[in-house]
Amino acid sequence: MRLKLKEGKQKILINKFREDKKLTWVKLSNLLGIKFGKLKAYIDETSLIPEDIYNKLDPGKEFSKYIIEKKNENWGKVNGGLNSRGNLKQIKIPEKSKKFAEFYGIMLGDGNSHKTKSYKKGTYMIRIVGDSRYDVDYLFNYVKSLIENLFNIKTHSGKFKKQNAIYIEAHSFNLIEFLNLNGFKPGNKIKNKLTIPFWVKENNSYLKCCLRGLIDTDGSIFRMSKRDSNLIRICFTNYNFRLLNDTRESFLKLGFHPSKTINNKQFFISRQEEIKKYLKEIGFSNKKHIERVKSFYSPVV
């Protein structure tokens, strides 16, 4: 069984146990018989805690009053779930992969997850928004195909009236629940402090793909000066400071030297050898960035 505790209580439980026992994080993970990466997922509350782990952490059942739900390990299937052919729309559950990591980055950048309940029915939807002047090919071809192949679900696309904005969306309760279990909570991304999940951070190949999704959506490329037309810079802008900081730290982990954060909303990659490194090791899926780099500095593409 997996236990769902009231928001914030799972983290408090783990921290309290560690402090009471005066354990390091490594010793705690060893005591529980799990890898630190899995423990980190429980601390971040991006994964529901198994009942046997909970029993070790709370033998006196002090936190039992905060348990709001119990789920079977295969709860998705049991409850009409993620792979069901019942009334709920069936989706394919992807394994953790480079493509899923890139999709996660795209969602962190220009995507959102919506979960609205009502008396008779609810709205469960993901939506990714782009610029109708520059992102048509990326959104309607690349991202559309990515979503449909990952989840085996149909997508819908459209344009907002009187705005230079287009969107692609997919409707599915199970998709929203699956993303929620993987750390992408529905609602306001800044309020929920959504960021790069640990399963992505601990795998450099996944991390590169997630960063590609983030830069393809919230990144920009421009000349450093009119005088030096071949000197270009990559900029990442996001108003979720936790995500901004994690993205910068991820580039540092991969051997880049991003600037300090500017005005709590952006940072730059400016070293020309690191621009080439980015193009070689991470690259773009968004053609607008590819074409822009070619127009500035064709030898590096």
Domain that holds residue 149: 98-181
What total of structural domains would you count in the chain?
Answer: 3
What residues in the chain have per-residue pLDDT under 70? 72-89, 117-122, 229, 297-301
175 and 206 part of one domain: no
Last residue of one domain, picked from the residues 125, 147, 181? 181
Does this model's pTM top 0.85? My answer is: no
157 in a domain, yes or no?
A: yes
90 in a domain, yes or no?
A: no
Last residue of one domain, picked from the residues 181, 214, 232? 181
What is the pLDDT, as a whole number, of residue 138? 96
What is the pLDDT, as a whole number, of residue 229? 67
- CATH code of the domain containing 42: 1.10.260
65 and 112 part of one domain: no
204 and 290 part of one domain: yes
DSSP string over 259-281: PPPBTTTEEEE--HHHHHHHHHH
49 and 21 part of one domain: yes
For the segment 48-93, what is each residue's pLDDT rounded down to a tens digit? 899 999 999 999 999 999 998 887 655 444 344 444 444 466 889 9
146 in a domain, yes or no?
A: yes
Contact of 216 with 285, CB cutoff 8 Å: yes
Last residue of one domain, picked from the residues 137, 155, 181? 181
205 and 175 part of one domain: no
208 and 295 part of one domain: yes
What is the pLDDT, as a whole number, of residue 117? 66
% helix, strand, coil for the chain, step of 5: 45, 20, 35
Three-state SS at 169: strand
Q: How far apart are CA 112 and CA 106, in angstroms?
A: 10
